[in-house]
Amino acid sequence: MNILKVKTKHEMSCLAADIMAAQIIKKPDSVLGLATGETPIEMYDNVAKRNIDFSRVRTVNLDEYVGLDGANENSYRYFMDTNFFSKLNIKKENTNLPCGTATDLDAECARYNALLESIGPRDIQLLGIGLNGHVGFCEPNTEFVPNTSVVSLTESTIKANSRFYDDISLVPKQALTMGIRQIMDAKHILLIANGPAKVEIVEKAFYGKITPAVPASVLQLHPNVTVIVAEN
């Protein structure tokens, strides 16, 4: 595990953007695993400004809220379209997220599992980290859940994500998320975290015990992980 410590969010975003850009330049048909949240927004913007050819790139996102469709501005589909895909020459059909409004959520998990299987290992999997150590929406648990599943979000996650909603009662209580085995299948994992609020969980996840109670701690077992942590 390569842990890079930088001072500012700007430095973190530039460094992460350099890594993602290099990946696509090296392999124009790269498969990218993508993440949402406040942390990657500047990185996405930085990558988009480089005018890299995304016409052969395929993407798979980690997760989506149950009940929100792509037109909802709190959905992760909307987030990705707005913050990244709309700024690139990527083909919409090459971008994938779980569908939060599927009527049969188990069937949607099966569809996403099959999609991940057919698309093969991602060249890079971008991750953020939740305050409780979640990656994607893999919440603290008694075991590592391997594949895509429907999860109930913890109080801590609902509270943390309520900053994007007018009222906490509007935050969805469930999400669909890629599983831990699927995250670990990526060839290179790039995790970014910034700010004083993330210091404690970064310490716990990457220098502490490997446990499903801190899902990100499993990354200690992956052979190719880059963590970029910014103080501010």
Residues that bind ligand GLP (CB under 6 A): 35-39, 62-63, 128-130, 136-137, 157, 161
Catalytic residue among 123, 139, 161, 185: 139
Type of residue numbered 192: I
CB of 71 to ligand GLP, least distance (A): 19
The answer to whether 81 is a known catalytic residue is: no
Minimum gap (Å) between residue 136 Cβ and ligand GLP: 5
Report yes or no: 117 and 42 within 8 Å, Cβ to Cβ: no
Query: Alpha-carbon distance 140 to 142, whole Å?
Result: 7
Please state the φ and ψ torsions of residue 198, each to the nearest 5 degrees: -95, -10
Q: What angle do CA 110, 131, 213 make, to 5 degrees?
A: 60
88 or 153: whose CB is closer to ligand GLP? 153
Smaller CB distance to ligand GLP: residue 74 or 101?
74
Is position 108 annotated as part of the catalytic site? no
Between CA 101 and CA 37 the distance in angstroms is: 20
- Is 132 in the active site? yes
Residue with smaller CB distance to ligand GLP, 52 or 129? 129
Please give the backbone phi and psi of residue 176, each rounded to the nearest 5 degrees, phi first: -105, 135
Report in angstroms how near the CB of residue 171 gets to ligand GLP at its nearest: 10
Nearer to ligand GLP, 56 or 174 (CB): 174
Min separation Cβ 93 and ligand GLP, Å: 23
Catalytic residue among 63, 64, 123, 185: 63
Residue 176 · residue 115 · CB < 8 Å:
no
Catalytic residue among 46, 61, 132, 194, which? Answer: 132
CB closer to ligand GLP out of 52 and 85: 85
Distance CA(157)–CA(155), nearest Å, equals 6
Q: Which of 39, 28, 40 is nearest to 197 (CA)?
A: 39
To the nearest whole angstrom, how small is the minimum distance from the Cβ of residue 56 to ligand GLP?
Answer: 25
User: Is-catalytic flag, 134?
Assistant: yes
Max intra-chain CA distance, the chain: 45
By annotation, the residues acting in catalysis are: 63, 132, 134, 139
